[in-house]
Structures are given as C-alpha cells and as structure tokens.
Structure 1
Amino acid sequence: MKYTLRQLEVFLATAHYENLTRAAASLSMSQSAASSALKDLESQFDVQLFDRVGKRLQLNALGDSIRPRAQALLEQASSLEEALARHQGTGHLRVGATLSIGNYLAVEIMARYMSEQEGARVELEVANTETIVRKVANFELDLGLIEGESRHPDLEMVHWRDDELVVFCAPDHPLAGKPWLSDDDLLDAAWIVREQGSGTRQHFDWAMHGLLANMDIKLELQHTEAIKRAVEAGLGLGCLSEITLVDAFNRGRLVPLPVPHRDFHRRFYFALHRQKFRSTGVERWLELCRESTQGLE
C-alpha cells in the first residue's frame, strides 16, 4: 500500500482548515511533518490535490473527489480500532441536532447511549438546520437530527418521526379561546418566529403560503425559549413545534390556537452523509432514536 492512514489524516485536516499550520496543530504534529506527509502522498501518485493560493490550500477537483472515500476509510479504521479495544464498543459520536430536537429529545437519547457502555462519549452540537446540514456534509458531524428538509446532494435524508407546529398566544391575548383562526386573523396579528435557516421557519413559511408577504413578522429569534417568553409577554403570536410547548400549555402560561385550514404537519429526519462509513455507534444511535418514538406513531 503506497499511502498511510496518517497521510490521509493530514490530507483531510488540510482540506478542512485550508491551512497547513492549523491542520498540523489539530493533529498534534509539527508543520514540517504535516507538509512532508502531504507532499509524500501527492508524489507517490504523481498528483496534486490542492490549489495553492498564498497561504491557503484549496481542494482541487481531484482532491474533492477522493475526500469522501478518504474520510470513509479513516472511519472504518477508527471503528476497527474501537472494536479491538472495546470488544465492539459503541465509542465516540459527534451528533448535530436542531434546536427543538436538541433541547427536547436528544439529551435523553444521549443519556441512554452513554449509559450502555462505560467510556462512550457524545459531542452534541445544537444549531439550526442550515448549520447542521453544512457540518454533516463537511464531515464535521457523524450525523444530524434535523427539523427541516434538505436536498444536499451528498446527504441521505431518512425519516425519523412526525411532528406538528402549533400556533399559540398568551392567555390574555384577544385571540385566546377563539375556536379557530381565519386567514384575516393571521394577517392582522403580529408574529414572533424563528430565524431564516431554521427548519421551523422553513415549514412556517410553507404553511403560510399566499399570506407570508403581507404578514407582520415583528421579531425573528434564534431560540424557542425566547420566542415563548416574548409571546407570553403579549408581543404577538408564535409558532413552534408541539414538543417545545407541552409544559407551557400544561401550566397555562400559553394557549394553542387552532388553524385547521393550514398544514403544519412536518417530519424530523436523520441527515447522513452518503459516503461516510456508519460505525457501530452511529447505527446504535439510530436504533435508540427509533425506539424513542415507539407508541407515538
């Protein structure tokens, strides 16, 4: 074999950071050692994998085409190492989750995963759909749990569970207690909603087709709790996943507003890179996610 796993690690780190010094630091190597490993990889096959623009190293077409396979190979090597060391242990996972999922569903799944085997670790990153999709596509996360839909060509979107957005208001809002809201009600109200790039905002915009251009979007906030507090303070109506509102409804702090003629049904998805090796840990995480929905659907 003409290449080493270390050479592939240097190649992938350089592709990620687009800078050899930062790539070397991430691998605890000297810059000269990293540079030598990269030069050896290219010279052994008489190829160039990067376009060198000043201090920046940008993947060229050949480098970009082999990157997923190099990543998959290292993932398999890592999985083999974990299996030998832990006798098929599940190991370390990097999971991305959108805000509603990360704050209300993922932590319980993470606790179950980590309790199954001593030493198993999970890094959970919570961000909006756009960010999670980008990081899974860039091999920065092993998988994503997202609320929105994505057509990224490198990702496989696998249905996980169904969800419903709910329109809501403060108990003393003029619309509270109304049997249902008409389109005129929706247009007359002020709204506090999620930011562009979030899955919740994506589906809210779809559900409000034909009205959106004339709606009063008063605030766009990145966090569900901030939206709930703003609505509770009487600043307007909100629209969030039902999983984020159960406690507030039970306590009477917020009340749901039926909008039966608008489609607020949506799906949660697993976002998986098509060319990334699926380790034992990834497969077990997916199983735990599916088990968590039993009895719900």
Structure 2
Amino acid sequence: MKYTLRQLEVFLAAAFHENLTRAAESLAMSQSAASSALRDLEGQFNIQLFDRVGKRLQLNELGKSIRPKAEALLEQARGLEAAMGGHREIGHLRVGATMSVGNYLAVGIMARYMLEQSGARVELEVANTSTIIRKLANFELDLGLIEGETRHPDLKMLHWRDDELVVFCAPDHELAGKPWLTDEDLLQAEWIVREQGSGTRQNFEWALHGLLPQLNIKLELQHTEAIKRAVEAGLGVGCLSAITLDDAFRRGSLVPLPVPHRDFQRGLYFVRHRNKFLSAGMQRWLELCQEEVQ
C-alpha cells in the first residue's frame, strides 16, 4: 500500500483548516512532519490535491473527490482499532441541530448519551438549517438534526419525527379568540418570523404560498425565544414549531391561532454525509433520538 493512515489524517486536517500549520497543531505534529507527510502522499501518486494560494491550501477537484473516501476509510480504521481492542468505542461526537430542535430536543438527548457512555464527549452546535447543511457537507459535523429539507447531493436524509408550525399571538391581540384565521387575516397581520435560511422560515413560506409577496413581515429574528418575547410584547403575530410553544401556551402568555385551510405539517430529519462511516457513537445517538419519539 503506497499511502499511510497518517498521511490521510494530514490530508484531511489540511482540507479542514486550509492551512498546514493549523493542521499540524490539530494532530500534535510539527509543521515540517505534516508538510512531509502531505508531500509524500502527493508524490507517491504524482498528483496535486490542493491549490496553494499564499499560506492557504484550497482543495482542487481531485482533492474534493478523494476527501469523502479518505474520511470514510479513517472512520472504519478507527472502528477496526476499537474492535481489535475488545470494545466498541463510542468516543467523540459532533452534532449540529437547528434552533427548535437544538434548544428543545437535542440537549436532553445529549444528556442521556453522555450519562450512558462514560467519558463520551458531544459537541452540539445550534444554528439554522443552511449552516448545518454546509458544515455536514464539509465534514465539520458528524450528524445533523434539521427542520427543513435539503436536496444537497452529498447528504442523506432520514425522517425522524413529525412536527407542525403554529401561528400564535399575545392574548390581548386583536386576532386572539377568533375561531380561525382567513387569508385576509393573514395578510392584514404584522409578522415576526425566522430569518431566511432557517427550516422554520422555509416551512412557513410553503404553508403560506400564494400570499408571500403581500405578507407584512415586520421583523426577521434568528432566535425562537426572541420571536416569542416580541409577540408577547404585542409587536405582531408569529409562527414557530409546536415544540417551542407548549410552555407559553400553558402559561397563557401566548395563544394559538388556528389556520385550518393551510398545511403547517412538516417533518424533522436526520442528515449525514453519504460517505460518512456510521460509527458506534452515531448509531447510538440515532437510537436515542428514536426512543424519544416512542
């Protein structure tokens, strides 16, 4: 075999950091050793994997095509090493979750995972759908839990659970107490909604198709809690996932507004890179997520 796993580690670290010095530091290597490993890897096959732009290393087309195969191979090698050591290593896990899922569902799953697996460590990144998709495609995350859908060719989606969006307002709002809202009500309302790029915004726009150009979008906010506080203050009407509104509805600080003629149903999804090896840790995380639904 002409290459070593260490050479692949250097290649992947350089692809991630786009800088050889930072790649070496991440692998606890000297810069010269990392440079030599990458040079040997390219030299053995008479190829170039990066375009050098000053101190920046940018993957070329060949490097991009090899990267997912190298990622999968290293993941399998780590799994083999754990198996030969006589145990299944759960290890480190990098999970990305969209706002509603991350703040209301994923933290509890993370707590169960870490309590169950002694010494396990989880990095949970909460961001909007477009950010999670970008980081999964770039192998910066192992798994994603998202609200919106994606057609990214490198990613694989799996349905997790059903969800729905709910239109809501403050209890003293003029629309509160109506048995249902008409399209005219929706057009006259002032809306406080999630930003473009979020799964919630994507589903909101699908549900209100045909009305979008005429909707009065008063505020676009990145955080669910900020939207709830703004609506409680009487600034407008909101639309968020039902899982984020249960407590507010029980307290009476917010009230739901039925819109039966519009479809606010949606799904929540697992997402991972198609070439990402499904490690024992990833598998157990998925199992815990499924147990939450049952």
Cα distance in structure 2, aligned partners of 1:86 and 1:177: 63
Contact 1:13 1:23 in 2 (8 A): yes
1:272 corresponding residue in structure 2: 272
Q: Secondary structure at the match of 1:240?
A: strand
Superposition pairs for residues 1-297 of structure 1, below 5 Å?
Answer: 1-84=1-84, 87-294=87-294
- Structure 2 CA distance for partners of 1:82 and 1:124, relative to 1, 3 Å: farther
**Structure 2 length-normalised TM:** 0.97
Give the Cα–Cα distance (whole angstroms) in 1 for the partners of residues 16 and 92 of structure 2: 20
Q: Is the 8 A contact 1:89 1:117 kept in 2?
A: no
Q: Which amino acid aligns with 1:237?
A: V
Deviates more, 1:74-83 or 1:142-151: 74-83
- 5+ residue gaps, structure 2: none
How far 1:99 sits from its partner (Å)? 0.7
Q: 1:285 to 1:42 in 2, by over 3 A?
A: same
Judge which range, 167-176 or 100-109, deviates more: 100-109
Calculate percent identity across the aligned residue pairs. Answer: 79
1:117 CA drift (Å): 2.2
SS in 2 for 1:179: coil
Partner SS state of residue 3, structure 2: coil
Aligned-pair distance for 1:52?
1.9
Matches of 2:12 and 2:56, distance apart in 1: 14
Q: Which runs of 5+ in 1 are unaligned?
A: none
Q: Once the 2 structures are TM-superposed, how far is the Cα of residue 24 of structure 1 from its aligned partner?
A: 1.7
SS of 2:218 mapped into structure 1: strand
Amino acid of the residue matched to residue 284 of structure 1? R
Q: Identify which range, 69-78 or 141-150, moves more after superposition.
A: 69-78
Paired AA for residue 263 in structure 1: D
Q: Provide the aligned C-alpha RMSD in A.
A: 1.2
Q: Distance in 1 between matches of 2:32 and 2:204?
A: 52
TM-score, structure 1 normalization: 0.96
SS at match of 2:149: coil
Q: Larger deviation: 76-85 or 90-99?
A: 76-85
Q: In the TM superposition, what whole-angstrom CA distance separates every residue of 1:80-119 from its partner, at most 9, and x where no partner exists?
A: 3344557113222111100100111111111111122211
Q: CA deviation at 1:54?
A: 2.5
- Matches of 1:83 and 1:255, distance apart in 2: 53
SS at match of 1:64: helix
Residue by residue over 1:42-95, the C-alpha shift from the partner in whole angstroms, topping out at 9 and shown as x without a partner, is 111111111222222221221111100101111112223344557113222111
CA distance in 2, matches of 1:74, 1:91: 14
Inter-partner Cα distance in structure 2 for 1:79 and 1:101: 29
Q: Quick one: distance in 2 between partners of 1:127 and 1:79? A: 29
Counterpart secondary structure, 1:167: strand
Compute the displacement of 1:208 (Å): 1.0
CA distance in 2, matches of 1:226, 1:163: 21
Opposite residue 239 of structure 1, the aligned amino acid is C
Letter paired with 1:81? E
Displacement of 1:176: 0.2
